[in-house]
A and B are shown apart, each in its own frame.
Chain A
Amino acid sequence: MSIMSYTGGTVVAMAGDECVCIASDLRIGEQMTTIATDEKKVHKVSDKVYVGLAGFQSDAKTMLEKILFRKNLYELRENRKVRPQILSEMISNLCYQHRFGSYFTEPLVAGLDDQNKPYICCMDTIGCVSAPRDFVAIGTGQEYLLGVCENFWQENMKPEELFEATAQSILSCLERDAASGWGAVVYTITKDKVNVSTIKSRMD
């Protein structure tokens, strides 16, 4: 089994009309054994900027520490909040700096910029960014997600529709992916508030 699926986990993000949604499962395992059922893989980085880190949990934690460190330095130096576009560039650079001994985690960035334009992107372990306008998925359930997102995603969704689409997509992914599960947490980021909801899925 590859190190990328050792602990398991999935993150997905979708973009709507002046809103984005980012969701992750809650399982952490050691290969086939589930060890914990309350590990979020989505982290708040700035006001309307969230990062998802799927892959090897150890490296995801280390990476998150490094991301927060760099983001804090940026915000202090520039005296302004980080935009998601900037953050993804920072993370991409961080990943590529470890090109020949990479961290086994795939980062995902979702957020609203200063014009409240949605931005989502994901990258591979060495920081190759892809930033489509519709949806991104990373982790062990990526294959299951991309297909189902294709069906649920529509142009210019409002926050409520977007939440529903994201939640339904990750739920159907968790039905199939054995390395992810135990419910999910969904963050809906809009221009004046962030809504966090925890949803149940098959709890095995």
Chain B
Amino acid sequence: MAGMHFLVGISTDDYVILAADKATFAYGAILADSENDKEYRLGKKLTMMCIGEEGDVAQFGDWTKRNLQLYSVRNGYEVSPASAHHFVRRSIAHGLRSSDRYTVDVLIGGYDEKEEKAFLGSVDYLGNGLAKQPYLFRGFCGRFCYAIMDREYKKNMSEAEGLIMMKKCIGEAKRRFVANIPGYKVVIIDKNGYRKLDDVLF
């Protein structure tokens, strides 16, 4: 449960919405930056949001991004979201039992061209990985949001409904969580590709 940060992921068969807070906290008490981008693009229709130990996030995010880039250059095609998820989980789990581990929690969202389905998965810093889930959260605020989504999630909801739900979750985090989270970056991936939406700001 990566400290004060918050990641949201909501998906149906058609699309996946990912949101990440834009904060950098220092000493657990100070808001040091409100424009921190936690997103790492892993492919045309594949992205990863990453929170945890600041240095690890930057290092691991970049490492993953470039390794998958290398894969697509070598093989002439991009990895599927499920394969990317497997790679990330394996890397974290392997790192956990070595001298250099990455203390990061991630959400991976993408659109699988072969299966024609959106993908949402998570990996925590211990290497626990979940794939093909309807909604996932990382960070303390997720605890309020699972309850919201359990009640409100519908399998065939539209993009607009999905975004409303995402905002509901972020709103609950704003209402219940002590830290001042300045805003969230929001992206959506569907069969037509990747779009960055307007930030949710407070």
* A residues lining the B interface (CB < 8 Å): 6-7, 28, 30, 33-36, 39, 56-59, 61-62, 65, 101
B200 interfacial by beta-carbon distance below 8 Å: no
Interface SS majority for chain B: mixed
A35:B93 contact, CB within 8 angstroms:
no
Q: How far is the CA of A109 from the CA of B30 in the complex (A)?
A: 52
- A101 close to B97 (CB less than 8 A): yes
What residue of chain B has the Cβ atom nearest to residue A62's Cβ? Answer: B93
Contact A58 to B130, CB < 8 A, known contacts A30-B1, A33-B143, A101-B97: no
What is the CB-to-nearest-CB distance from B122 to chain A, in angstroms, rounded to a whole number? Answer: 8
Are A62 and B127 in touch, CB under 8 angstroms?
yes
Q: Which residues of B contact A36 (CB under 8 A)?
A: 130, 133
In chain B, residues 73-127, which have Cβ atoms closer than 8 Å to a Cβ of chain A? 89-90, 93-94, 96-97, 122, 124, 126-127
Closest CB in chain B relative to A116 CB, distance in Å: 35
With A58-B129, A61-B93 as contacts: A35 and B136 at CB distance below 8 Å: yes
Q: In the complex, A59 Cα to B126 Cα: how many Å?
A: 9
Q: Which residue of A lies closest to B133 (CB)?
A: A36
Inter-subunit contact A58/B143 (CB<8 Å): no
- B96 in contact with A34 (CB, 8 Å): no
Residue numbers of B with Cβ under 8 A of A are: 1, 89-90, 93-94, 96-97, 122, 124, 126-130, 133, 136, 142-143, 146
Partner of B146, one of A7, A33, A56, A101: A33
Q: CA separation between A33 and B138, bound complex, in Å?
A: 12
CB pair A61 B130 closer than 8 Å: no
List of B residues within 8 angstroms of A61 by Cβ: 89, 93, 127, 129
State A61–B124 Cα separation when bound (angstroms).
13
When chains A and B are docked, how far (Å) is the Cα of A153 from the Cα of B122?
Answer: 39
25 A-B interface contacts by CB (under 8 A):
A6-B126, A28-B128, A30-B1, A30-B128, A33-B142, A35-B122, A35-B130, A35-B146, A36-B130, A39-B130, A56-B126, A57-B128, A58-B89, A58-B96, A58-B126, A58-B128, A58-B129, A59-B127, A61-B93, A61-B127, A61-B129, A62-B90, A62-B93, A62-B127, A101-B97
| Bound-state Cα–Cα, A108 to B18, Å | 37
Specify the chain B residue showing the minimal Cβ separation from A58: B127
* Alpha-carbon distance A35/B137, docked complex (angstroms): 9
Residues of B within 8 A of A39 (CB): 130
How far apart sit A7 and B126, CA to CA, in the bound complex (Å)? 11
What is the CA–CA distance of A35 and B146 in the complex, to the nearest angstrom? Answer: 8
Q: How far is the CB of A41 from chain B (nearest CB, A)?
A: 13
Q: Is the beta-carbon distance between A7 and B97 smaller than 8 angstroms?
A: no
**Chain B residues whose C-beta falls within 8 Å of the C-beta of A6 in the assembled complex:** 126
Extra contacts besides A33-B143, A35-B136, A58-B126 (20): CB < 8 Å = A6-B126, A28-B128, A30-B1, A33-B142, A33-B146, A34-B146, A35-B146, A36-B133, A39-B130, A56-B126, A56-B128, A58-B89, A58-B93, A58-B127, A58-B128, A61-B93, A61-B129, A62-B90, A62-B93, A65-B90
Residues of A within 8 A of B97 (CB): 101
Given contacts A58-B93, A61-B89, contact A30 B130 (CB under 8 A): no
- A98, closest chain B residue (CB): B97
A6-B129 Cα distance, complex, nearest whole Å: 14
User: How close is A122's CB to chain B, nearest CB, in angstroms?
Assistant: 22
Which 4 A-B pairs rank lowest in CB-CB distance, beginning with the nearest? Answer: A58-B127, A58-B128, A57-B128, A36-B130
Q: How far is the CA of A58 from the CA of B142 in the complex (A)?
A: 20
How near does chain A come to B162, taking the closest CB pair, in angstroms?
19
Complex Cα–Cα for A36 and B127 (A):
15
Residues of B within 8 A of A58 (CB): 89, 93, 96, 126-129
